Amino acid sequence: MGVLERVSEPRDLRGLSTAELDSLAAEIRDLIVRTVSRTSGHLGPNLGVVELTLAVHRVFDSPRDPIVFDTGHQSYVHKLLTGRVERFGTIRSKDGLSGYPSQAESQHDWVENSHASTSLSYADGMAKAFAVRGEKERTAVAIIGDGALTGGMAWEALNNIAGGPQNGPDGRPLVMVVNDNGRSYSPTVGGLAQHLSGLRTDPRYEQALDLVKRTLNRTPLVGHVTYEALHGLKKGLKDLLAPQGMFEDLGLKYIGPIDGHDRDAVENALMQAKRFGGPVIVHCVTQKGHGYDVAVRDEVDHMHSPSAFDPLTGEPIGDPTRTLTHAFSDALLDAGRRRRDVVAVTAAMLCPTGMEPFAKAFPERCFDVGIAEQHAATSAAGMAMMGLHPVVAIYATFLNRAFDQVLMDCALHKTGVTFVLDRAGVTGTDGASHNGMWDMSILQVVPGLRLAAPRDADQLAELFAEALDVSDAPTVVRFPGKEPADVGIDALERLGTADVLARAQTPDVLLVAVGGLAGAGVDAARRIQAQGVGVTVVDPRWVKPIDKALIELAGEHRLVVTAEDGCRVGGVGSVLAQELRDHNVDVPVHNFGIPARFLDHGKRAGILDELGLTGQGLAREISGLVAALESDSSLASSETV
Ligand SMILES: Cc1ncc(C[n+]2csc(CCOP(=O)(O)OP(=O)(O)O)c2C)c(N)n1
Ligand SMILES: CC(=O)[C@@H](O)[C@H](O)COP(=O)(O)O
Ligand SMILES: [Mg+2]
């Protein structure tokens, strides 16, 4: 029987010997590699936190002491230590375990939002609540990566925490574990990263680690006094170490750097921090992918989130497909060659957004700002003001962070910034917070902004080039990046800015199929036309503003149906309905899209099927609407938004 089988909750860890804990760490790594090689998911980040997570669960008493994982992609080890070994093989699949912490799964999971840099704020709030409620024995614990620490929210939290009571009667116990592996996907960038790296790469670091570790092991745990002793020791180490006073200068207690794979050392440091009774940073140095050579050697991203692979070699399984991300990558490189004013901005996602070829060709024109979508947007506005055309490529869901910056800093100032939103629409396996389903709704209210949704690689290249020609307003190009680049649908004609993909013999239904749903729209039309109903299918290409030609075309049909891979509330369909009313075009409109709810994780295709956003699903709905139109005249005045 393995050790892992004997652990069903964190308290089971406490009675284990050192040898058993070592075996446990090896078993956990083995299970994670074997499982993720099949399911896909976050590999490198989890392999890097095995010892750290064991130490956290041995020192703190979860769930009484809440443990908040920043971003949450590194919580697999935590799942295995909190009673989820048997279901681990189902991770990221429909009805299986989530790839992030999940309140529905366990009382040990508090925060399930996968948007980065929030953990310090959550933990700060929890610590404040414990103080107000007089629950003095509870400690809030945040585990935050060096990448997540580059995000603005983390800095806002640090500032607030540093200004609050430290220890003593008013102290708010809060332990902030910095999991510093030097990487986001790529190496983490910025002044803070350089500061942390100064500690890690100093040749005297090993010496210092030894000294800190020996001293911690010798020191009895007597709370504040011990902390001060340790603190004094660290001050004494200043000659040995690179300057590390940044957190201290802010007024925050700091312990580190600790070797994050030395479980004893991490436990000791955490105990010191816990006993302090106020906010303390514990800086642990880890290696992304630790214990699995293939991941450690992977220089691109230490197998951050691979798709299925051969566990022996790390080689991906299945043929590589050319995706829309590749198409954007080529289009950006091409734009860079044609125009010297084109610059690229990434928020710590150079490779997954396809910017790497541009960065290699034009390093001086590519800027990684860290996990800082807000800063990316406003800094891009500044560049545009001074004559450049920035391209900010981020995942659609992360644009939510920068809404105010797009609205006020880019649009109000009429700056020519192009936002490229990858992973738009249903992303699926990464769960509720990763779906790119909000952009087409929230951006509708931004004056002057133009929004394009290409259906394939050719359209992506065309629309991206058109977007780059707009210099007096922000533009957005959004697409489901992991989908195949070519869907094999040619336009019959261009109508205004829209493409007509199918023409009805009799103008019964106008089906407006947005971007990623163009294929489903054409498929639906084929199915319905077989029943003798005429369907015109249009891909609007530019979904904001809506072209006048589309409004006229709508007036020629008996029924308008819209389909979009975005939230149907406030989305393209609902705006089209509003425009039709404004132009006195009296035709019933039905909108299909993603409902305004958080979607459970599962495969994209399965979720689209459940939502009825497939050729078959749309055909079924439209047939029903046509039948009702024929038998129910009241339909003429109805509208579903
Ligand atoms: C707001 C936001 N932007 C971008 C991302 C995408 N993302 C997920 S993990 C990650 C890197 C995180 O680095 P770090 O916090 O150091 O964790 P590590 O993977 O190194 O353990 C990024 C950029 C995100 N989750 N949230
Ligand atoms: C945690 C996070 O935000 C990313 O790691 C994301 O899960 C990656 O998604 P892709 O695999 O689609 O690049
Ligand atoms: Mg990191």
User: DSSP states of 222-245 as a string?
Assistant: -THHHHHHHHHHHHHGGGTSPP--
417/410 Cα distance (integer angstroms): 7
Residue range 360-370, pLDDT digits in tens: 999 999 999 99
Provide the pLDDT for residue 195.
82
Give the residue among 373, 378, 369 at the shortest CA–CA distance from 401: 373
CB distance 114 to ligand 2 below 6 Å: yes
Residue whose CA is at the smallest distance from ligand 1 atom 23: 348
CB distance 352 to ligand 2 below 6 Å: yes
C-alpha dist (Å) from residue 85 to 378, 554, 602: 44, 55, 20
CB distance 601 to ligand 2 below 6 Å: no
Is 57 annotated as belonging to a binding site?
no
> Is 541 one of the annotated active-site residues of the chain?
no
Domain 4-294, CATH: 3.40.50.970
Start and end residues for every CATH 3.40.50.970 domain found in the chain: 4-294, 324-478
Cα torsion 554, 560, 562, 567: sign: positive
Give the residue among 632, 539, 601 at the shortest CA–CA distance from 98: 601
Of 288, 450, 478, 541, the catalytic one is 288
The predicted model scores a pTM of: 0.93
What is the mean pLDDT of each successive set of 10 residues along the chain, which is 641 residues long? 94 96 98 98 98 98 98 98 98 98 98 96 98 96 98 96 88 96 93 80 58 53 40 46 66 92 97 95 97 96 97 92 97 98 98 98 98 98 98 98 98 98 97 97 98 98 98 98 93 97 94 97 96 96 97 97 98 98 97 97 97 98 94 51 36
CB distance 116 to ligand 1 below 6 Å: yes
CA 304 to ligand 2: nearest atom: 5
* Ligand 3 centre distance from Cα of residue 187 (Å): 8
Residue whose CA is at the smallest distance from ligand 1 atom 16: 147
ipTM score of complex: 0.98
Of 183, 274, 401, 604, the catalytic one is 401
- Looking at the CA of 36, name the nearest ligand: 2
465/178 Cα distance (integer angstroms): 42
Provide the pLDDT for residue 638.
41
Q: In the structure encoding, which two tokens stand for residue 555, read together?
A: 């007036």
53/10 Cα distance (integer angstroms): 10
* Ligand 2 centre distance from Cα of residue 481 (Å): 12
Provide the pLDDT for residue 587.
97
Q: In the structure encoding, which two tokens stand for residue 142, read together?
A: 């945040």
Domain 493-629, CATH: 3.40.50.920
CATH superfamily of 324-478: Thiamin diphosphate (ThDP)-binding fold, Pyr/PP domains (3.40.50.970)
Provide the pLDDT for residue 214.
56
447 CB-near residues (< 8 Å, 6+ apart): 411, 412
> Is 526 one of the annotated active-site residues of the chain?
no
Helices (runs of H) and strands (runs of E) counted in the chain: 24, 19
428/608 Cα distance (integer angstroms): 9
CB distance 565 to ligand 2 below 6 Å: no
CA 70 to ligand 1: nearest atom: 15
Is 73 annotated as belonging to a binding site?
yes
Is 147 annotated as belonging to a binding site?
yes
Residue whose CA is at the smallest distance from ligand 1 atom 19: 45
Provide the pLDDT for residue 193.
85
Provide the pLDDT for residue 208.
57
390/376 Cα distance (integer angstroms): 10
> Is 462 one of the annotated active-site residues of the chain?
no
The β-bridge partners of 559 are 509
CB distance 430 to ligand 2 below 6 Å: yes
Residue whose CA is at the smallest distance from ligand 2 atom 13: 352
Give the residue among 300, 345, 353, 360 at the shortest CA–CA distance from 329: 353
Residue range 454-498, pLDDT digits in tens: 999 999 999 999 999 999 999 999 999 999 999 899 999 999 999
CA 398 to ligand 2: nearest atom: 3
Provide the pLDDT for residue 289.
98
